[in-house]
Amino acid sequence: MLNTDRIIKELYARKLELSQAIARARKDLRNSREGKLRISHSKGSAQYYLIADNGDTRGKYIKKENIKFVKELAQKDYSEKLIIRAEAELSLLDSVIGKLKACDATPESFYSELHIDRKSLISPILLDDEEFEQRWETAEYRTNQFKEEEKIYPTKKGEMVRSKSEVMLADMYYEFGVPYRYESELVLKNGKRVYPDFTLLDKSTRQLVYHEHLGLLDDDRYRLHNLQKLEEYRKNGIYFGKNLLITYEADGCPLNMKDIRKCTKEIFKC
């Protein structure tokens, strides 16, 4: 979900993209030759003509063996028109950014500005990022009750998890400010209830991302069970590269927290 700050950020990114495109187009034009390209067709074949800047509009025929010159003329025409359109959009973006910046009171911030007594009487339609995150963090959710006695490792957040590796992962998310739930219930389309190791909130998109840690890949039954689970996830629109993160470890292949931390920072922009 985009709010005003994110929209402005995206608009600045678009401005940068356009500015770079204009710079490249102008570079192409520096050494371009005079004239324009006219293309006609005869018997299903393209024919090329050089139109002088102040000359006959029919132009002078360019032989096929001069295709490099033809491409230069076509590129020149493209670059000139690209600059015109890009500069027009840049001007529009400057105007839109200016108007958005002038709007201090956003619709999302309105609810947060209310007194707590009034807030309790309202069902907000739009929430700012802070309020949205707080509600997600404090909302109740069902957890995995299977073998609760195996949850013996405490995290910095104060919950108990099943392995030392999960402690490191949970503490990393806590350190990076990535909101997460441990073994939160997820109901699949067929009604089956599963419990991903971590359910994460991507604050930049307000979308959920699931993280499964495969810590016993040497075990054949464990490996088969998790492959079947990942297939179920895929059938429910949860898959690697979209909204599923997978970490793993086995004998001779320890958990590489250095790389995981680096990837996490890139994914969640933290």
Domain boundary among 86, 104, 122: 104
Q: Which residues pair with 210 in a beta bridge?
A: 199, 244
- Whether residue 56 is predicted with pLDDT greater than 80 in this model: the reply is no
Does some domain include residue 123?
A: no
Does some domain include residue 119?
A: no
176 with 96, same domain: the answer is no
Question: What percentage of the chain carries pLDDT values higher than 70?
Answer: 99
Select the more confidently predicted residue: 208 or 103. Answer: 208
What is the pLDDT, as a whole number, of residue 107?
84
Residues 6+ apart with CB under 8 A from 15: 90, 93, 94, 97
CB atoms within 10 A of CB 128: 20
Does some domain include residue 124?
A: no
Q: 261: exposed, middle or buried (C-beta count within 10 Å: 0-12, 13-18, 19+)?
A: middle
What is the Cα–Cα distance from 42 to 105, expressed in whole angstroms? 62
85 with 168, same domain: the answer is no
At residue 65, the 3 state secondary structure works out as helix
What is the pLDDT, as a whole number, of residue 104?
73
86 with 150, same domain: the answer is no
What is the pLDDT, as a whole number, of residue 42?
86
Select the more confidently predicted residue: 102 or 231. Answer: 231
Does some domain include residue 57?
A: yes
What is the pLDDT, as a whole number, of residue 165?
97
158 with 248, same domain: the answer is yes
Q: 212: exposed, middle or buried (C-beta count within 10 Å: 0-12, 13-18, 19+)?
A: buried
Does some domain include residue 258?
A: yes
Region 220-234: what's the mean pLDDT?
96
Specify the amino acid at residue 232.
E
CATH code of the domain containing 235: 3.40.1350
What is the pLDDT, as a whole number, of residue 31?
86
What is the Cα–Cα distance from 255 to 246, expressed in whole angstroms? 12
What is the Cα–Cα distance from 220 to 251, expressed in whole angstroms? 13
3-state secondary structure 130-156: HHHHHHHHHCCCCECCCCHHHCCEECC
Q: In 3D, which of 17, 14, 20, 23 has the Cα closest to residue 96?
A: 14
Compute the mean pLDDT over every residue in the chain, rounded to the nearest whole number: 94
Question: For the whole model, what pTM was predicted?
Answer: 0.74
- Whether residue 183 is predicted with pLDDT greater than 90 in this model: the reply is yes
What is the pLDDT, as a whole number, of residue 1?
60
Does some domain include residue 179?
A: yes
Number of structural domains (the chain) is 2
What is the Cα–Cα distance from 220 to 127, expressed in whole angstroms? 46
155 with 230, same domain: the answer is yes
- Whether residue 58 is predicted with pLDDT greater than 80 in this model: the reply is yes
Region 181-185: what's the mean pLDDT?
98
Does some domain include residue 24?
A: yes
Region 209-236: what's the mean pLDDT?
96
Residues 6+ apart with CB under 8 A from 169: 197, 198, 211, 213, 247, 260
Structure letter (DSSP) for residue 227:
H
153 with 208, same domain: the answer is yes
What is the pLDDT, as a whole number, of residue 254?
94
Domain boundary among 83, 104, 125: 104
Domain boundary among 58, 78, 104: 104
Tokens of 48: 């090329």
Does some domain include residue 232?
A: yes
* Structural domain range at position 242: 140-268
Question: What percentage of the chain carries pLDDT values higher than 90?
Answer: 81
Select the more confidently predicted residue: 62 or 14. Answer: 14
List the Cα angle 111/115/117 in 5-degree steps.
110
- Whether residue 6 is predicted with pLDDT greater than 80 in this model: the reply is yes
246 with 154, same domain: the answer is yes
What is the pLDDT, as a whole number, of residue 101?
86
**For the segment 19-43, what is each residue's pLDDT rounded down to a tens digit?**
999 999 999 999 899 999 999 998 8
85 with 153, same domain: the answer is no
78 with 144, same domain: the answer is no
Specify the amino acid at residue 52.
A
161 with 256, same domain: the answer is yes
264 with 201, same domain: the answer is yes
Region 73-93: what's the mean pLDDT?
97
What is the pLDDT, as a whole number, of residue 2?
65
